[in-house]
Structure 1
Amino acid sequence: MLCAICTALIKCIPLFSYCPAPDYENNTRHQSLHELKNSVLEGCVVCKRILVHIGRQYEDGETWLENALLTVDHNARLIGYKAYHYGDSCSVRYSLPYDAQGGVFANIKMPQLVFSSPQIDPTIPSITPQSTSTADAIDLWRYWFRTCSESHPVCREKELGLQHFLPSRLIEILDTGDTLHWRLVSGLDINTTRYVTLSHCWGESEHIKLIKDKVAPFREKQPESILPQTYRDAIRVALSLGVPYIWIDSICIIQDDPDDWKNQASLMGQIYHNACCNIAASWGTDGTDGCFNPERSCLKSDVSTRIKMDGDHGPEEYLVTDEDIYKSEVIEAPLNRRGWVIQERYLARKQLSFAKSQVYWECLELSASEDFPKGIPKQMQDPYQESMASAKPSLNPVGRSQLRFIWSKVVESYSMCDLTKPSDKTVALAGLASEMKAATGYTYLAGLWEEDIEKQLLWESREPSQHFPLKHSPYIAPTWSWMSLDGPVRYDTKYGYQHIQEYTRSRYGPSCPPLIRILKASIEAGSSDNMHSFVSGTLELRGIAIRAVATRIMDFRSPGSMYRLEIVNHAKVINDTWTRPIIVVIWWDENVASKLYDPEGWYRLKKERAQSLLFMFVLDGDRSHWKEGLVLERLRGQEEKYRRLGVFGTQHLASGKFDLGYVIRRKLGLEPIMNHTYGWTPIAQKDFNLEDERLKDLVYTVTIV
């Protein structure tokens, strides 16, 4: 049921047949937490969803709510909302005002609910409300798979364009009636190209593994019972799709044979891309959980509820769903925190994701779920999906600028994931990088691309969530690559957002030319295709730089801190043109939580940052991008070799900030014309030449390793 206030709200949503002129702001709403709680006790499903959402943010939600109730004026307006119409659905976003007396509601996250008509189609199998397990959706996932294979033009075209490929080993599923058996077979010995793959979390559970001594025994018929639950569920899904072959990493790669692992790992992209479907055990944290959640019935009502209301032509049924359910159950699922899974999900052409409350389907033409079997509403999907030419995350052919944006988001997601072995970092992304290379023709350089590399150098270490970022040891990648960092990063926005460059220019003014010239960019790898297992990398730059000692003057809440630069060995520059103090914000690549947490690391970083460093300008700030240059440390005993320590910027600081354009124009004898609208002096390409003698005391040639 619904309370009178939620009923009045719903009747103002344009989705419904009897809605009047929408009046979202002035409609009746709950006036207090007390009133909201009474509605829950009376059985209002929407009010219950709001109250549960608030309560989950505290360990003892009920006690906290009781105490919070005492601080709130009983007559104050408490629950506000805004509705957003999306054609066949509507999102309602609830809000709590700030309580001036205690601020108890200031940081509470409120739910966002999607109201829609149920996607009822007699040709699509439905799931009964009494269903207790995601295994009950078998007819629905069969329907999705069959419809995609037979009726999706884009998916069919992609399949027809595949080259013949089979993994070296596959698991053959033997259905002998009452029980299932399996055995390991060679890809050369089967006469079909149809197989499925499994994406799963290894976790802490004991896994059955293929080792050298097990190759021969595993070629004989083995009972299903020796497999972990996730594997057992996966082979049942495979059989339900009519596919008797499945690839599972721990059984199809010889785990104690480094050469076999290296060879098979390099083929991982092809293995997942050529599979006819990928089965993702999204909700499980290890092999004991399985694919199917047997307790989904108690979760389902918390994320989606059907309600009935009287409409113009009799009773009408509507679905109320959490807007972030796809994000929480698929995008942020335990499985998608694994580094390997990023490329598995992007490269798989079709995927069945078994989540906590329901099953999800993704292919190039459709993203669907049990709640939305004909298609998940756009506002509930990945916010970056619009940049892709398909309904699922993929590199399916789009323009190069969109591919750059997708790559930047892949990097950001991947850098936040976990890898059991840090040494896997380069190979676990190699398949996706190879796909990007094939689509663009670009040259891959350890996580970056040689083409327009100057627009990718200003990646930054993001604010840590679980641990503070440090450089990988032993060697993973050169310091100018984000892959060298063990922690989350934000890709250089100059590269990732090129597809909205015109918008950026209109909003922030004209962009400035690069202040560096790339003399050499190369990588040496232990793999034959140069896509992973990097052993060294060199980036040679020539550009504008200053050598200075940085003194911290202020901390921000983000990883960046404000510093004052004291120039060394640039007396002429100071006397002639350096008319303002140089204040910068530095985003260091490495950070430690505190001196107590990691005293050795803390003292090492303090010593590094106290010496004179080179601040090399890469791109002059254009107000849309804060990061302007690289912070470099000269290697001891190697005059021209440097390593990267971080990035810096000046353009977003208050008035009186350092203005590089002003300095360069003065050095060149040009009138320092300021762009008064945007507060910085533009540098025209025609006025800028690194070989100009008048700039020689500002120009450096450096090799970053």
Structure 2
Amino acid sequence: MAELCSFCQSITVADLRCSFCNLLWHALVDTCAEKSIETHLQGRVHGREDDADTAIRLRGEFHDWVKPVPENGIQNSLIWIFSGRSYEEGLEHGREIAPYPSCTMAISAMKTWVSRCQSHHSCGAGSDVNLPTRVIDLKPMDEGRNPLLFETAGQRGVYIALSYCWGDYQEFKITNSNYHEFRTNGIEHSKLAQTLKDAIQVTRLLGVRYIWIDAICIIQSIEGQSEIGNEDFNRECLRMQDYYGNSSLTILAGSASDCNHGFLEARRGGLQNALPSVPFEYTRHDGIKAGHIYAELYSSYQVGPLERRAWTLQEDILSPRLLIFGKDQMGYKCGMGEVWEDGTSNLAKWDGKGLFDISPRMILAVNTSITDGRARDRMLRQWYPMLQKYTRRQRSNPYDKLTAIAGIAQRAHQLIGGRYLFGLWETDIIRGLLWRSGWLPGDPDPPLPLNRVDAFKAPSWSWASTEGPIFCQYTTERQERTYLCSAKIRANFLSCCDGFDNHFDPIRGGVSLDSFRLRIRGTIKAVQCAVGTVLPLTDKRKRKTYYKCRDRMINLVPDELGNSCSTSPLGTIAVALTDTPIDHTEGYWCLRLITEEGLLLKHLKISEYKRVGVFLVSDIEWFDREKPEIIELL
């Protein structure tokens, strides 16, 4: 309990002496009926079976508006005081956050969430599914018995999956040398990394027999083994959409930065523990004391280090239900929405057309028999922002570039259709080709540059050929109508990989790059790089994301006649943003894809080119003077 000075002890909600606190309290009272406040204080929340404590827990937050800093240098701010944080129901009954996830209070909360989801939600888990190739068998539920690696051979059942950070090195894992021992003698519990031990403990607490953990259930490569020579790894990694998608629940060990840290005994750090909640007595208008109002520090919904790992993005999105052990508190997400330990809830909204419009998880959860244009367009609008997130996450192995996102691609393909070509969709190839280096809020300033991948070969037109954060344009319905209508398109995709079926992991699959030649018909124009100040951009939406990468921007002028051929200021016919640094003394070529944008290319031989960047058109008339021709993009 917090210790209060004599003045603070005398403060009551009914007669606050601080004008600011009085203003905040009356704002809450004015918003919520007294009966509603009393109901919460008495622990009676209409329509809910809640295990929350009987206090409304007020939280104050500071938020910077997402807008440029004004000339005086002072940021606008907003302070919110409320009970819980419900996006649906106004006043939400708050909960006290447990000091650490393994305490009785936290265990009770996680069991309640899972039970309620199974019994009340349409997404309820519990039905038998095809088990993964291997699972860890925890039966009987006895702490004294070593878990056993179990080959399922098509057996059905219920299992939990784990999403976690490996860290620099996972010492205890399955390889060809210990595979037989794990199956016959079991897995020595004491040798497991702490995060794996914690996941097994949670699985047992929830009464589930099987758990799937990648380090134990997929045969891992050993030092000296070829990165693409591990057949079991290559095969199992393409089943992530099933392994996470069919799991009864996925445990997100968000607070653990590596597999040795664990997540159950991790105390919530920072000021939340250093400064306890402060109670204020609540007295009704008639003088009756009804309870206490607690003022306490805000607890974030940040998952933790797990959000920085590339592999865990698809593990999150593909899982129908998540039990989150986050940085400050636990949470639970399912197809109906989410709930957090502090009492915050958010029920998923339908858009009135029978499709979720909230996140890739919701769209992927829709009945995959829906194959009309609405489902396809909506999935694509989520695909490109998801790529931006993915390329900003970390991977320790460059060969995992497409592997770690293959599960999402497989599931998205059921709605998008067409072929998946090295990270791009054949049915949306023009938009897909316009990826570029760029800046998003939260990125370093200036943004990290792109680098071409040396570990393996990928076609230059694919974002998978680069390492670093990419930017994708045209992710809203309005932008699609404005920029990607047929009247705006200036190039036609002819073919790629004739006779080639979908391959969601061509890097590890060892597919020949000769199969990935894009044949395109469009206007191709020779240009030179011009030294000098970059021409100002007229498109406000692109100006900021381009200018953050100013070190890779360059003016382009006609190759054959120089400035005399152009009607644009300074003779510039386009402004380019290169993927990586280029030699400004060499000649390049512009392939316009839509009216205002296209690809900057380097000529290889005859009709073969490779991508080196993108460009914005400054002189449309100059580009319209030539007839289209067919090229091959490597």
* TM-score w.r.t. length of structure 2: 0.75
Decide whether aligned partners of structure 1 residues 568 and 395 sit closer, same or farther in structure 2, where only a CA change above 3 A counts.
farther
Cα distance, 1:250 vs. partner? 0.9
1:686 maps to none
Distance in 2 between residues matched to 1:457 and 1:217, nearest whole Å:
49
1:675 maps to none
Distance in 1 between residues matched to 2:65 and 2:80, nearest whole Å:
6
1:406 maps to 382
Whether 1:659 aligns to 2:619 is yes
Letter in 1 for 2:376: R
1:150 maps to 119
Distance in 2 between residues matched to 1:486 and 1:96, nearest whole Å:
30
Distance in 2 between residues matched to 1:451 and 1:321, nearest whole Å:
51
Distance in 1 between residues matched to 2:505 and 2:69, nearest whole Å:
55
Letter in 1 for 2:31: F
Q: Give the conservation status (yes or no) of the 8 Å contact 1:171–1:247.
A: yes
1:272 maps to 244
- Aligned CA RMSD, in angstroms, stands at 4.1
Instruction: Provide Cα deviations, 1:158-179, integer angstroms capped at 9, x if missing partner.
Output: x87x9x4221111111456453
The gaps in structure 1 that reach 5 residues or longer are: 20-44, 51-90, 380-384, 591-604, 622-627, 651-657, 668-694
Decide whether aligned partners of structure 1 residues 96 and 14 sit closer, same or farther in structure 2, where only a CA change above 3 A counts.
farther
Whether 1:521 aligns to 2:496 is yes
Aligned-partner SS, 2:254: coil
2:42 maps to none
1:587 maps to 577
2:207 maps to 242
Cα distance, 1:299 vs. partner? 5.2
Distance in 2 between residues matched to 1:306 and 1:94, nearest whole Å:
31
Letter in 1 for 2:115: R
Cα distance, 1:377 vs. partner? 8.0
Letter in 2 for 1:17: C
Q: Give the conservation status (yes or no) of the 8 Å contact 1:115–1:320.
A: no
Letter in 2 for 1:538: R
Distance in 1 between residues matched to 2:78 and 2:187, nearest whole Å:
49
Decide whether aligned partners of structure 1 residues 239 and 475 sit closer, same or farther in structure 2, where only a CA change above 3 A counts.
same
Letter in 2 for 1:181: N
Distance in 2 between residues matched to 1:457 and 1:303, nearest whole Å:
52
Cα distance, 1:406 vs. partner? 1.0
Q: Give the conservation status (yes or no) of the 8 Å contact 2:97–2:341.
A: no
Cα distance, 1:17 vs. partner? 3.1
Q: Give the conservation status (yes or no) of the 8 Å contact 2:138–2:210.
A: yes
Counterpart of 1:421 (choices 391, 397, 402) is 397
Aligned-partner SS, 2:489: coil
2:136 maps to 171
Letter in 1 for 2:337: L
1:115 maps to 82
2:20 maps to 5
1:223 maps to 188
Whether 1:569 aligns to 2:560 is yes
Q: Give the conservation status (yes or no) of the 8 Å contact 2:246–2:319.
A: yes
Letter in 2 for 1:260: D
Whether 1:131 aligns to 2:106 is no
Distance in 1 between residues matched to 2:242 and 2:297, nearest whole Å:
36
Distance in 1 between residues matched to 2:235 and 2:97, nearest whole Å:
47
Q: Give the conservation status (yes or no) of the 8 Å contact 1:112–1:322.
A: no
Whether 1:457 aligns to 2:433 is yes
Letter in 1 for 2:403: V
Moved more, 109-118 or 334-343: 109-118
Higher relative contact order (CA 8 A, sep 6+): 2
For these two proteins, the number of residue pairs brought into alignment is 549
1:346 maps to 317
Decide whether aligned partners of structure 1 residues 297 and 514 sit closer, same or farther in structure 2, where only a CA change above 3 A counts.
closer
Distance in 1 between residues matched to 2:199 and 2:412, nearest whole Å:
29
Decide whether aligned partners of structure 1 residues 188 and 575 sit closer, same or farther in structure 2, where only a CA change above 3 A counts.
closer
Aligned-partner SS, 1:644: strand
Letter in 1 for 2:180: A
Cα distance, 1:365 vs. partner? 0.7
Decide whether aligned partners of structure 1 residues 642 and 10 sit closer, same or farther in structure 2, where only a CA change above 3 A counts.
farther
Q: Give the conservation status (yes or no) of the 8 Å contact 1:552–1:564.
A: yes
Letter in 2 for 1:188: A
Counterpart of 1:396 (choices 359, 366, 371) is 366
Decide whether aligned partners of structure 1 residues 386 and 312 sit closer, same or farther in structure 2, where only a CA change above 3 A counts.
farther
1:181 maps to 146
Cα distance, 1:510 vs. partner? 8.9
Decide whether aligned partners of structure 1 residues 299 and 521 sit closer, same or farther in structure 2, where only a CA change above 3 A counts.
farther
Decide whether aligned partners of structure 1 residues 287 and 110 sit closer, same or farther in structure 2, where only a CA change above 3 A counts.
farther
* TM-score w.r.t. length of structure 1: 0.68
Whether 1:703 aligns to 2:632 is yes
Cα distance, 1:606 vs. partner? 4.3
Whether 1:477 aligns to 2:458 is yes
Aligned-partner SS, 1:522: coil
Decide whether aligned partners of structure 1 residues 154 and 316 sit closer, same or farther in structure 2, where only a CA change above 3 A counts.
same
Q: Give the conservation status (yes or no) of the 8 Å contact 1:199–1:344.
A: yes
Decide whether aligned partners of structure 1 residues 144 and 391 sit closer, same or farther in structure 2, where only a CA change above 3 A counts.
farther
1:553 maps to 532
1:33 maps to none
Decide whether aligned partners of structure 1 residues 527 and 509 sit closer, same or farther in structure 2, where only a CA change above 3 A counts.
closer
Letter in 2 for 1:269: Q
2:601 maps to 632
Distance in 2 between residues matched to 1:515 and 1:431, nearest whole Å:
33
Distance in 1 between residues matched to 2:548 and 2:275, nearest whole Å:
33
The gaps in structure 2 that reach 5 residues or longer are: 1-7, 9-15, 35-57, 222-228, 350-354, 368-373, 535-545
Counterpart of 1:535 (choices 512, 529, 540) is 512
Decide whether aligned partners of structure 1 residues 294 and 110 sit closer, same or farther in structure 2, where only a CA change above 3 A counts.
farther
Cα distance, 1:94 vs. partner? 11
Distance in 1 between residues matched to 2:214 and 2:521, nearest whole Å:
45
1:86 maps to none
Decide whether aligned partners of structure 1 residues 545 and 526 sit closer, same or farther in structure 2, where only a CA change above 3 A counts.
closer
Q: Give the conservation status (yes or no) of the 8 Å contact 2:173–2:215.
A: yes
Whether 1:282 aligns to 2:254 is yes
1:610 maps to 585
Q: Give the conservation status (yes or no) of the 8 Å contact 2:519–2:632.
A: yes
Q: Give the conservation status (yes or no) of the 8 Å contact 2:575–2:615.
A: yes
- Determine what percentage of the aligned residue pairs are the same residue: 24
2:31 maps to 16
Instruction: Provide Cα deviations, 1:28-55, integer angstroms capped at 9, x if missing partner.
Output: xxxxxxxxxxxxxxxxx978x76xxxxx
Instruction: Provide Cα deviations, 1:226-267, integer angstroms capped at 9, x if missing partner.
Output: 111101110011111211111111111111371111111121
Whether 1:252 aligns to 2:217 is yes
Letter in 2 for 1:151: H
Decide whether aligned partners of structure 1 residues 179 and 524 sit closer, same or farther in structure 2, where only a CA change above 3 A counts.
farther
Distance in 2 between residues matched to 1:443 and 1:175, nearest whole Å:
46
Decide whether aligned partners of structure 1 residues 377 and 306 sit closer, same or farther in structure 2, where only a CA change above 3 A counts.
farther
Aligned-partner SS, 2:199: helix
1:41 maps to none
2:415 maps to 439
Q: Give the conservation status (yes or no) of the 8 Å contact 2:525–2:590.
A: yes
Decide whether aligned partners of structure 1 residues 642 and 616 sit closer, same or farther in structure 2, where only a CA change above 3 A counts.
same
Cα distance, 1:325 vs. partner? 2.1
Letter in 1 for 2:410: S
Distance in 2 between residues matched to 1:46 and 1:176, nearest whole Å:
41
Aligned-partner SS, 2:493: strand
Distance in 2 between residues matched to 1:273 and 1:449, nearest whole Å:
22
Distance in 1 between residues matched to 2:342 and 2:561, nearest whole Å:
66
Distance in 1 between residues matched to 2:518 and 2:67, nearest whole Å:
50
Q: Give the conservation status (yes or no) of the 8 Å contact 1:631–1:644.
A: yes
Decide whether aligned partners of structure 1 residues 476 and 344 sit closer, same or farther in structure 2, where only a CA change above 3 A counts.
farther
Distance in 1 between residues matched to 2:450 and 2:504, nearest whole Å:
29
Distance in 2 between residues matched to 1:253 and 1:663, nearest whole Å:
56
Distance in 2 between residues matched to 1:477 and 1:217, nearest whole Å:
39
Map 1:311-390; keep pairs closer than 5 Å: 325-326=300-301, 329-330=302-303, 333-372=304-343, 375-376=345-346, 387-388=357-358
Instruction: Provide Cα deviations, 1:291-333, integer angstroms capped at 9, x if missing partner.
Output: 224321655468996764747656576677888922xx12xx2
